[in-house]
Amino acid sequence: MNPPNAHRPYNFSAGPAALPEEVLSQVSAEMLDWHGSGMSVMEMSHRGKEFISIAEAAEADLRELLQVPAQFRILFMQGGGLAENAIVPMNLAGRGGSGQVDMVVTGSWSSKSAAEARRYADVQIAANGANAQGHYQSLPAPQNWRLRPDAAYVHLCSNETIDGVEFQELPDLQALGSRAPLVIDFSSHVASRPVDWSRVGLAFGGAQKNIGPAGLTLVIVREDLLGHALPICPSAFDYKTVAEAHSMYNTPPTFGIYVAGLVFQWLKHFRYAGLTGLAAIEQRNIDKARLLYETLDQSALFENRVAAHCRSRMNVPFFLRGEYDTPQLNDAFLAGARERGLLQLKGHKSVGGMRASIYNAMPLEGVQALVAYLKDFEAHHG
Ligand SMILES: *Cc1c(COP(=O)(O)O)cnc(C)c1O
């Protein structure tokens, strides 16, 4: 247990990930009796006036925060990012009759998306960012993507959580000669920066990286993309059905929507560097990422291997360099981190090393504490 008034440990988990402490405190305070209703949010009918007010506020706050245009529908679903890898093609691949889907592969998550979409569509890999060793450390330039004129949609993952590769700008498919809508998996950087909706047809993401507990999946879809589901698509996953029922076709993940709504409120009022709301959280994310990448780049012991132009602001994989990269030194680093209250820094099992996920809820002080530890560790072992 922590001594009174000490801060909680800093949690660098890639997901489910840290939530803002203010939100957790509010959830705790409202747990037994939400706003005098005599009920926990978990115990409310999803069709009662209390929960409807919670869901409507969450949706309105998200729309305002991300500046989602009126012709987009916001859906609260279940199944996570992985289920969307099937739900998206089941809803969109039938549009236009070609059955074609073009996929941009830039890391582990988009690879999985492509493999799943093959079960429902004629998938072409428009570009693959892997280098000769099979690692994803850079983004293929959009001018070189192979895009088919009749594709039903083009898919990409705008932030690769495992590889630490992020699109700093979404491609303008129209300028590349494509008429297809762009689908983005923004699971791991949703609400960390603005979205250019003029370039997007559909965005999806699991909540557990940046906006709430696992179990809630967010889908933001342009209205003209509704109503094209394949006959095999389950009704509960047909975007048109879900949209018409205002995400209440079946019981939605009510508690997840409630917590996400509190996170949206927290974000709307977030202040940093003279800014408010999304601009403020984005600036703090930029500052946190810059501090960490600069430290790694100046280190003789640690390194990040992603090209500078596409380094993720959210997920920073790092490794011990060359001869230092032994299991003993990796373990010593992680054990020392835990002792300092720096949690869940182990890298994904597919790439090894370390990974610091520094989502919206991570304060600047958490990254400063990590940087101090990196320097201390280097002083002792470098
Ligand atoms: C975590 C993650 C997923 C998978 O989400 P689940 O909720 O586990 O299905 C998909 N895409 C990205 C980019 C992710 O970070």
Asked whether residue 258 is assigned to any structural domain, the reply reads yes
For residues 360 and 283, membership in a common domain is answered with yes
Residue type, 252: P
- Whether residue 77 lies inside any domain: the answer is yes
DSSP letter for each residue of 226-265: SS---TTS-GGG-HHHHHHTTT-SS---HHHHHHHHHHHH
Q: Are residues 287 and 240 in the same domain?
A: no
pLDDT in tens, the chain (382 residues): 445 557 899 999 999 999 999 999 999 999 999 999 999 999 999 999 999 999 999 999 999 999 999 999 999 999 999 999 999 999 999 999 999 999 999 999 999 999 999 999 999 999 999 999 999 999 999 999 999 999 999 999 999 999 999 999 999 999 999 999 999 999 999 999 999 999 999 999 999 999 999 999 999 999 999 999 999 999 999 999 999 999 999 999 999 999 999 999 999 999 999 999 999 999 999 999 999 999 999 999 999 999 999 999 999 999 999 999 999 999 999 999 999 999 999 999 999 999 999 999 999 999 999 999 999 999 999 8
For the question of residue 197 being annotated catalytic, the response is no
- Strand, coil or helix: what is 95? coil
Q: Is residue 136 part of a domain?
A: yes
Is the domain of 277 the same as that of 241?
no
Instruction: Choose, from 102, 163, 185, 238, the residue flagged as catalytic.
Output: 185
User: Domain boundary at 267, 301, 316, which?
Assistant: 267
Q: Catalytic annotation on 49?
A: no
Distance from Cα 154 to the centre of ligand 1, integer Å: 18
Instruction: Give a yes or no: residue 177 inside a domain.
Output: yes
**Residue 175's pLDDT is what?**
95
Mutation choice for ligand 1 from 77, 88, 187, 204, CB with most ligand atoms inside 8 A: 187
Residue 4 lies inside a defined structural domain of this protein: no
Closest atom of ligand 1 to CA, residue 82? 9
The total of other beta-carbon atoms located within 10 Å of residue 1's CB is: 4
The pLDDT, as a whole number, for residue 382 is 81
For ligand 1, which residues put their CB under 6 angstroms from it? 15, 80-82, 109, 157, 161, 185, 187-188, 206, 209
Ligand 1 atom 10, closest CA: 81
Whole-number pLDDT of residue 5: 54
For the question of whether the overall pTM of this predicted structure is more than 0.95, the answer is yes
Atom of ligand 1 nearest to the CA of 186: 13
User: 349 burial class (0-12, 13-18, 19+ CB within 10 angstroms)?
Assistant: exposed
Q: Mark whether 105 and 170 lie in a shared domain.
A: yes
Q: Beta strand pairing status for 100-105 and 159-160? A: unpaired
Cα of 190 from ligand 1 centre, angstroms:
12
253 and 280 belong to one structural domain: no
- 271-272/275-276 β-pairing: antiparallel
User: Which residue among 267, 301, 318 closes a domain?
Assistant: 267
Of ligand 1's atoms, which has the minimum distance to the CA of residue 15?
Answer: 1
* Same domain for 369 and 313: yes
**Within a domain: residue 1?**
no
User: Does residue 5 sit within a domain?
Assistant: no
Evaluate whether residue 39 is within a structural domain. Answer: yes
Q: What is the CATH number of the domain that holds 77?
A: 3.40.640.10
Q: What's the CATH number where 364 sits?
A: 3.90.1150.10
- Same domain, yes or no, for 121 and 254? yes
The verdict on 122 and 259 lying in the same domain is yes
Cα torsion at 190, 192, 196, 202 (round to 10°)? 0
Which of 104, 161, 312 for a ligand 1 pocket mutation test, highest count of atoms within 8 Å of Cβ? Answer: 161
Count the helix, strand and coil residues of the chain and give each as a percent rounded to the nearest 5.
40, 20, 45
291: containing domain: 10-21+271-381
Regarding whether 305 and 220 lie in a shared domain, the answer is no
* 109 labelled catalytic: yes
Same domain for 16 and 140: no
Domain end position, chosen among 248, 267, 286:
267
Q: How many domains does the chain have?
A: 2
Helical residues (DSSP H) of 299-351, grouped into ranges? 327-339
Q: Are residues 313 and 353 in the same domain?
A: yes
User: Are 32 and 165 contained in the same domain?
Assistant: yes
Assess contact for 278 and 193: CB atoms under 8 A. yes
For residue 285, the one-letter residue type is N
Alpha-carbon distance of 51 to 370, in angstroms, equals 40
